[in-house]
Amino acid sequence: MNKTGTQARFLVIAVVILSCCGACAGYRAVPLNNQPPAPLAQITVPASTLLPGGMHSHVFDPTDGLDITEVAMLAITQAPELNQLRAEARIAHAQAYAAGLLPDPVAGISSDRPLAGQPDAATAITRALSWDIGNLVTLSARQSVRRQEDMRVNLALLWAEWQTVMQARLHFLHIVHGRARVARLTEEVNTLRPLVAHTQAAVERATLAADTAAIAVSAFVDSARQLSDASVNLNAEEQALRLLLGLSAAEPLALVGDADLAPLDEAGTDNALSHLTQRRADLRALAAGYAAQEARVRSAILGQFPAINLGFNRSRDNSGIGSTGYGLAISLPLFDGNRGAIRIERATRAQLRAEYTLRLLTAQSDIAHVRASEHGLTTRAVELRTQVALLETHLLHATDAYTAGTLDWMTYLNLRQSALAASLDLSNVNESIAECHVTLALLLFRDTDQSTASAEGASP
């Protein structure tokens, strides 16, 4: 071979090697993040952040307090659990990508140099190129798996984001209602404290029996206990919201605005329920996973086709004689034949089908339960509002009469206790109704701030 031919061949080999190296990934160390969470005042969230369900953009400004939508926006961008799920989703995407790739061809070269003292013996050399072409048979099915898996992962992440948004809203309304209860109980405790002191002084003067005075003490202690329980529950809710939003445990939470979502009308709910399989991201994710499994079954069946490895070689022996040839290897499906893989994939398909059926039935049952609960709670709230309004009116007059000394403290105390109990009952019922609104919005995968048309037109 002349010098020019050798240089040209060397150049071709160099170009191939450099091209392969250019496609390789590089390594860069990524240290762990041990920094404390950023203060809320330093966090920025784009106004164009779209929440699941088709919400319009909303200005994020923590300086004037966080409303229920800003809390949801912060949850979407800052929630540590969501960031972990997004990292897991990238792994799933990478696995789906890897499953759809073809194997690389294999190039080889070998040299056999004769020992010294053998005249006329040349160095033998062999160059070979081979490729497993059997993967072409299942390529279409594996690419279908990849597409469906990508869709499944994206929809599963969307469902997790929607759940996080609704969890943030639940914490928001629990905190707002909890703070109102703490304020109401604090007022009650501060009002009863002088009354207890008054009755104790009367006992010391022997103008009031101790067992009678114990009624006032018992009312005070009961109100103080309720205040303590409400404060503990409120602190737990606040810490849960901070954790969900990725904030430090000492970050102040200034929450503003209404804690309740607009209720869904019956017609809109029925319409959303009839399109549940097209709306719910988790159901769509299960459907995509089932479609991916169908493709895996097809790939396993195609895998019965014998594996084929085709190669070409060019060689020169020690006598200097050159030759070219090819190699063909075909597996014989006598014992395995991919039968085990086919059974596994078919059984997995049956399991996914049963899981989808169960999830759909569970979703429909949960929606029916929440709707029934909302109707019952709404009826109860109407009754309680009438009772609370009546008791608050009587309490206002009774307070004036007690201050003027025309009403005994026992009657006044009983009226205060009745008004407090009714007020707390109404607060609990209103909170439960708000929970129903949030839960129903979650189960129907629609935001109650949007009209039916916009929610239907939004593509999750």
Query: 92-98 — which CB contacts under 8 Å span 24+ positions?
Result: 92/149, 92/153, 93/149, 93/150, 93/153, 95/149, 96/145, 96/146, 96/149, 96/150, 96/153, 97/146
Assign residue 337 a region: left if phi > 0, alpha if psi is -120 to 50, beta otherwise?
left
Q: Is 254 exposed, middle or buried (0-12, 13-18, 19+ CB in 10 A)?
A: exposed
pLDDT of residue 457: 33
pLDDT of residue 11: 47
pLDDT in tens, 272-295: 888 899 989 999 999 999 999 999
Question: Which of 73-87, 238-252, 308-322 comes out lowest in average pLDDT?
Answer: 308-322
pLDDT in tens, 409-459: 888 888 999 999 999 999 999 999 999 999 998 898 876 443 322 333 333
**What ranges make up the beta strands (E) of 118-206?**
124-132
> CATH fold of 50-101+136-303+339-457, please?
Outer membrane efflux proteins (OEP) (1.20.1600)
**Which of 428, 416, 437 is CA-nearest to residue 384?**
428
pLDDT in tens, 81-138: 888 888 888 888 888 888 778 788 888 888 887 877 677 777 888 888 888 877 788 8
pLDDT of residue 458: 34
**Which of 185, 215, 186 is CA-nearest to residue 198?**
215
What pTM was computed for the model? 0.79
Q: Which helix (H) or strand (E) holds 330?
A: strand 322-330
pLDDT in tens, 356-376: 999 999 999 999 999 999 999
What confidence tier does 333 reach under pLDDT thresholds 50, 70, 90?
confident
**Which of 295, 305, 300 is CA-nearest to residue 330?**
305
The yes-or-no verdict on residue 155 having pLDDT over 80 is: yes
For the chain, give the mean pLDDT.
Answer: 83
- Report the alpha-carbon distance of residue 160 to residue 158 in Å, rounded: 5
Domain ranges of the chain: 50-101+136-303+339-457, 108-133+306-337
Specify the higher pLDDT residue, 360 or 215.
360
**DSSP-derived secondary structure for 336-365:** -TTHHHHHHHHHHHHHHHHHHHHHHHHHHH
pLDDT in tens, 51-66: 665 556 677 888 888 8
pLDDT of residue 419: 93
pLDDT of residue 420: 93
- Report the alpha-carbon distance of residue 346 to residue 341 in Å, rounded: 9
pLDDT of residue 132: 81
Locate 448 and state its tokens.
Answer: 């109650």
The yes-or-no verdict on residue 49 having pLDDT over 80 is: no
Coil, strand, or helix at residue 236?
A: helix
Specify the higher pLDDT residue, 30 or 393.
393
Average pLDDT over residues 128-154: 85
The yes-or-no verdict on residue 10 having pLDDT over 70 is: no
